[in-house]
Structure 1
Amino acid sequence: MKKVLHIVGARPNFMKVAPIHRAISERGALQQCLVHTGQHYDVKMSDVFFTDLGMPAPDIHLGIGSGSHAEQTAKVMLELEKVFLAQKPELVSVVGDVNSTLSAALVAVKMHIPIAHVEAGLRTFDNRMPEEVNRILTDRISDLLLTPSADADANLIREGLEPSRIRLVGNVMIDSLLGAREQALKLSTLKDLGLSPRAYAVCTLHRASNVDDPKVLSGLLSALVHVAQRLPVVFPVHPRTRKRLGELGLSSTLERTPGLRLVDPMGYLEFLSLTSQARLVFTDSGGLQEETTVLGIPCLTVRENTERPITVDVGTNQVVGTDPARIQQAADRIIDGHEKKGRVPDYWDGRSGERIARVYEEFLGVATPRLAAV
């Protein structure tokens, strides 16, 4: 059987790979190998997601850990070259825009192994973001470009990439969300935190542009404090953000702020239970912009741009930047009942993993009739 080698490295990757891995297993036409680079190595940021998503343990764990962009990319490349030589895959499947994604693509292209990029074509048009550089370079050298929405197709064609390489398959991360939502809602997360449905906000912050600049971070936190005066705010703190809060001496002040609840990072199901019942979400995460659109939860993206404009065009997302006054104003409107309504984008239907499995089979010449086409 021809072999597909999946690369995961950081928390956002797991929700995207799980439905693809499951669909390929169910169809039974391809062999699979799951490689975890260990770019995220904290149990709450990584290992627990495999359990929550029903994924098998990785076949190979590289244990790369943290480091600068150059250091992390180089370490992953060195180790993946050994893996590719030993495994001899016919296709390397990468997802998203983390350093492990680009590292795997660079190693594969130099070894003449075909590459499939899931979530291709997303753009902020801001090359100051390391994720944007990873996206552009990965798309340029990939053989299959699997897009979540029509705007991503348009970006790739505008950049001169051949339409024959592009497949609109929908948002595979939504497969995970729809498959896990019922189970997540059975958890006692809200009860344990003393919350009521639709009566609290959730915040996540992790991007360097937000948490590494003391002025920007302080402004964002002041906006949260304002909102916490009207609505409880639950803030699962990313390790990077926790470190910065400690360095700036802000941790104890925030923990004493009425209405603001700092908690440790959560597993996938626990966090989905929290976000799916929120009144409002603040985030600088790309994935949460998509999830809140499907869940119908108002989302305020505290960035100056987004690589997921469809969540703004048709979904519940608003890009509000990092100005505290603007964030506070937008939050107040939502709390007062003037929230943005949206709809679920096309092909975000929970069947993207099946579409991707079928594309892989066709590309490798091993299409199976076991399941109907989607």
Structure 2
Amino acid sequence: MERAVVMLKIVTVVGARPQFIKAAVLRELFESSPDIKEILIHTGQHYDVSMSDIFFSDLNIKPAEYKLGINTGGPGQTTGRMMEEIEKVLQIEKPDAMLVYGDTNSTLAGALSAVKLHIPVIHVEAGLRSFNKRMPEEINRIMTDHVSDYLFCSTETGVTNLQNENISKNIFHVGDIMYDATLKAIRDFGSNVVVPGVDLSKDNLAICTIHRAENTDAPNILKSIFDYLNEQTHLYEIILPLHPRTEKALKEHSVDVGNIRIISPVGYPQMQALLAASKIAFTDSGGLQKEAYFHKVPCVTLRGETEWVELVDAGWNRLWTSEEFAQPRLLVEEYGSGDTGEKIVKYIKEYIKN
């Protein structure tokens, strides 16, 4: 008699650009797995078409089964409302596990909603630490790690960070799922992507992104960053796809953008094309630091610290307060070979039982 396939039901929570990109990898793998059913919840944390819908269409992600539309209010209010609505979905779907990515309010809301209902939590990109608890993301990632049952780490440093916090069970170093996504983008989009208003053939382009609250909500820091960037325009033509939060902060604080080229937010293929064409990246985004490396583009991090310390050690990244990159520029082998998603699916099937 043929053995029946045991179906695992996974509820995944996403809400922000980097999570859509990571989710695209696993959603495709889940779709091709007859023994896994994924239910996707989009909290609405990034709700603007240019920051949300366009990524689903560009990445060919199957639409979310639930869209919560929660995107206003302070961090506590927003997280609380997300938890309330996610809990309702969990009570309807009764999943075998909750899967969350990274370190956003959506991440924490998903993890806390699940653990309170005794649903196992899977955290992809576990163990990251900036050791700066003034960052909302640091609090989110620490709390998520400490309530998670299965922790998938991008690096050995992430594993060590968890062990130093007395988390010792079900930790897996699987590599970086963003590398999977970047390789997929190169295969899918190739070199045929056009970015309106930008000549990608120029040899002095630099991509820049700024969006973190620690920069946008601090007028003096924001002005200092733009002063620094304008000094770099003597060397590079800096292209800045402007995040809505940053646009609002620039207007409120009357920050002079100088010679920096401001463009509207771009989709995932356009961002990959800008990275591939750039000589250097300037960013406060954790994800873009790695994406730059995957395109073999050096990166300057516009923050006081970075979670991706291995990129600094390997000479691909430096803080904007440092003068020089470390030498030599080595490859970071612990990010894996582009099969992180497959490893995660394998472990989910092996460890999560009905």
Same fold (TM over 0.5): yes
Aligned pairs for 1:184-263 within 5 A: 184-189=190-195, 192-250=197-255, 253-254=256-257, 257-258=258-259, 260-263=260-263
2:22 to 12, 16, 28: 16
- Using the TM superposition, give the Cα deviation of residue 347 of structure 1 relative to its aligned residue in structure 2, in angstroms: 4.0
Aligned to 2:270: 270
The answer to whether the Cα contact below 8 Å between 2:25 and 2:180 also exists between their aligned partners in 1 is yes
The answer to whether the aligner puts 1:351 opposite 2:339 as a matched pair is: yes
- Using the TM superposition, give the Cα deviation of residue 3 of structure 1 relative to its aligned residue in structure 2, in angstroms: 0.3
- CA, structure 1 residues 91+315, in 2 after alignment: closer, same or farther (shift >3 Å)? farther
- Listed one character per residue, the Cα deviations across residues 11-45 of structure 1 (whole Å, up to 9, x for unaligned) are 11111111111112223211111110101101111
Return the letter of the residue paired with 2:33: R
Q: Which runs of 4+ in 1 moved over 4 A?
A: none
- TM-score of the aligned structures, taking structure 1 as reference length: 0.89
- CA, structure 1 residues 72+340, in 2 after alignment: closer, same or farther (shift >3 Å)? farther
The answer to whether the aligner puts 1:303 opposite 2:308 as a matched pair is: no
- Listed one character per residue, the Cα deviations across residues 112-138 of structure 1 (whole Å, up to 9, x for unaligned) are 000000000000111111100001110
The answer to whether the Cα contact below 8 Å between 1:294 and 1:343 also exists between their aligned partners in 2 is no
Return the letter of the residue paired with 1:97: D
- Using the TM superposition, give the Cα deviation of residue 184 of structure 1 relative to its aligned residue in structure 2, in angstroms: 4.9
User: 1:92 is paired with a residue of what secondary structure?
Assistant: strand
The answer to whether the Cα contact below 8 Å between 1:184 and 1:269 also exists between their aligned partners in 2 is no
Aligned pairs for 1:171-182 within 5 A: 171-182=176-187
Aligned to 1:7: 13
The answer to whether the Cα contact below 8 Å between 1:80 and 1:104 also exists between their aligned partners in 2 is yes
Aligned to 1:26: 32
The answer to whether the Cα contact below 8 Å between 2:55 and 2:268 also exists between their aligned partners in 1 is yes
Find the aligned partners of 1:349 and 1:197 in 2 and give their Cα distance: 30
The answer to whether the Cα contact below 8 Å between 1:236 and 1:264 also exists between their aligned partners in 2 is yes
**Percent of pairs with identical residues:** 39
Gap runs ≥5 in structure 1: 367-374
Aligned to 1:77: 83
The structure where helix makes up a greater share of residues is 1
Aligned residues: 347
- Using the TM superposition, give the Cα deviation of residue 158 of structure 1 relative to its aligned residue in structure 2, in angstroms: 0.9
Return the letter of the residue paired with 2:246: T
- Listed one character per residue, the Cα deviations across residues 206-236 of structure 1 (whole Å, up to 9, x for unaligned) are 1111121111111111111111122211011
Aligned to 1:369: none
The answer to whether the Cα contact below 8 Å between 2:315 and 2:327 also exists between their aligned partners in 1 is no
The answer to whether the aligner puts 1:110 opposite 2:116 as a matched pair is: yes
- TM-score of the aligned structures, taking structure 2 as reference length: 0.93
- CA, structure 1 residues 295+195, in 2 after alignment: closer, same or farther (shift >3 Å)? closer
User: 2:262 is paired with a residue of what secondary structure?
Assistant: strand
- Using the TM superposition, give the Cα deviation of residue 83 of structure 1 relative to its aligned residue in structure 2, in angstroms: 0.3
- Using the TM superposition, give the Cα deviation of residue 320 of structure 1 relative to its aligned residue in structure 2, in angstroms: 2.6
Greater mean alpha carbon deviation, residues 287-296 or residues 117-126: 287-296
The answer to whether the Cα contact below 8 Å between 2:25 and 2:341 also exists between their aligned partners in 1 is yes
Aligned pairs for 1:53-92 within 5 A: 53-92=59-98
Aligned to 1:280: 280
Find the aligned partners of 2:158 and 2:178 in 1 and give their Cα distance: 16
